[in-house]
Amino acid sequence: MIRLASWIIASLLIAAAIAWMVSLPGTLSLEAGGYRMQPRLGTAIFVLVVLVVLIIAAWAIIRRIIGAPSSFSRASRQRRKDQGVEALSEGFIALQAGDPVRARSLARDAQARLPDNQAARLLEARADLALGDMPAAREHYRALIANQRTAAAALSGLYDQALAQGRKDAALTFARKAVAIAPAPGWASAAVFDDLTARGQWDEALAMVASQPARSREERAHVRRRQAVLETARARQNEISDPSGALSHALAALKLLPDFVPAALIAARIEANRGEGRKAMSLLRRVYRATGHPDVASLYANAAHGASAVDRLKRARELIEVPPPSRAAALVLARAAIDAFDWSLARNALANYSASEPSQAVCLLMAEIEEGQNGDQGMAREWLARAVRAPRDPVWTADGVTSDEWEPVSPITGKLDAFEWKVPVSAVASRAVETAPASQAESAGELPAP
């Protein structure tokens, strides 16, 4: 309704303008070819306007006729481009959906319609890789490396291909080239970094971490954690050969992560070996209050070289309350009490943790207490028998491998910061396997043999 009203008003205004133009007073004298005309001024202006409009319309029609071949050509090229883009899009969808045959066919179709589009060739290379056609994929990737825009993507494909073929050295070479071209790709940086840490090249790994930007709070925390682990690895490597340098690295790690137990242990050991027992004990006391880690408490009790078992027990009691607040603390205190032949204190320390579901370490210590305090060989053997099936205690664990001390990388995968203080998963799995037959027998209405 508004559009109709607007059209009517515009028509009236145009008609009024034409009428006003025709009614303008005055005449205009024109002489051409022996003819003389004297139209009114308004009529002459109106005729002139109409003539200009007709000329413009005629020129537009002539231009359209003349440019028709080029217009058809442009339309054909645009249609071909649209078809190529559509084929490229459907090809990536097919590859993601797990249909590499259709993806390769669509990639070739896209290349025929988009000869200058490198994404189509990249799609065909990915499809060849998914189909296992390694030579064809390699040729495509090598051609794409020559283009600066597609070099990183081509190196990524060559890296995946090398890993699929088990050629780790070649994969690492491609990752290093990708880092040299553009440090941004995460896959390349991660591959190079993992290789450096697996080979123990801590200085190069630390420099690589320092060069990476950290924008968010989580990324900055991740970088600090990595730097602390690498500094601790350097300290661990040089603890014997260069104690002063190792101490500097350990303290640098503690500045990044104040409660990092492995760094605190290394720093405290070095301080104790240098005769700085007070510094070592102060550091260990602070870290223990923050973490409650048993290794820290054990080192605190043994910080002074040549101390007697009674002195070690005294230092343990300075750090650990009675009754101990945790099983880990109880184990440390009981161990110190057993070494000092304080059987009553050792038994009281373990009282809350030996009554129900004692761990292996608790069972072993209780066996020592029974034999040492009462000379009861029968009770000692009973505790040892319970230790066989008792739950495991936390230990440094990485990828199913346990270690008495923390290590910077996993011996299985070479992953940095893989060791965690926890109960080994293999112990939990083994207990589950042992109990499975019994539960199956009960569900079948059978009783297990005694």
Write out the two tokens for 384: 């040892």
In CATH, 200-206+213-291 is 1.10.8: no
Nearest-angstrom CA–CA distance, 48 and 293: 100
b (16+ CB within 10 A) / e for 32-70:
eeeeeeeeeebebebeeeeeeeeeeeeeeeeeeeeeeee
Nearest-angstrom CA–CA distance, 150 and 139: 14
Nearest-angstrom CA–CA distance, 295 and 404: 10
Helix (H), strand (E) at residue 222: helix 217-238
DSSP letters, 431-447, are HHHHHHHHHHHHHTT--
Burial label for 286, CB within 10 Å (0-12, 13-18, 19+), is middle
Instruction: Count CA atoms within 13 Å of residue 261 on its CB side.
Output: 21
Nearest-angstrom CA–CA distance, 346 and 333: 7
Quick one: pLDDT at residue 414? 86
Q: Which residues lie closer than 8 Å to 86 by C-beta, 6 or more apart?
A: none
Q: What is the pTM of this model?
A: 0.69
Quick one: pLDDT at residue 421? 93
Burial label for 198, CB within 10 Å (0-12, 13-18, 19+), is middle
Quick one: pLDDT at residue 440? 37
Nearest to 423 by CA among 402, 442, 449: 402
Percent residues over pLDDT 70 in the chain: 88
* Each residue's pLDDT expressed in tens, for the chain with a length of 450 residues: 788 888 888 888 877 876 776 666 767 676 666 677 767 666 777 777 788 888 888 888 888 888 778 777 777 878 888 888 888 888 888 888 888 888 888 888 888 888 777 788 788 888 887 887 878 877 777 777 777 777 777 787 777 777 777 787 887 887 877 777 766 557 788 888 888 888 889 999 998 888 877 778 888 899 999 999 999 999 999 999 999 999 999 999 999 999 999 999 999 999 999 888 889 999 999 999 999 999 999 999 988 877 899 999 999 998 898 888 899 999 999 999 999 999 999 999 999 999 888 999 999 999 999 999 888 899 999 999 999 999 999 999 998 899 999 999 999 888 899 999 999 875 444 444 344 444 433 333 333 333
- Residues comprising the chain, all counted: 450
Quick one: pLDDT at residue 447? 34
Under DSSP, is residue 311 helix (H, G, I), strand (E, B) or coil? helix
Nearest to 346 by CA among 325, 324, 326: 324
Nearest-angstrom CA–CA distance, 397 and 399: 7
Nearest to 331 by CA among 302, 371, 358: 358
Helices 327-339 and 343-354: angle between axes, nearest 10 degrees = 160
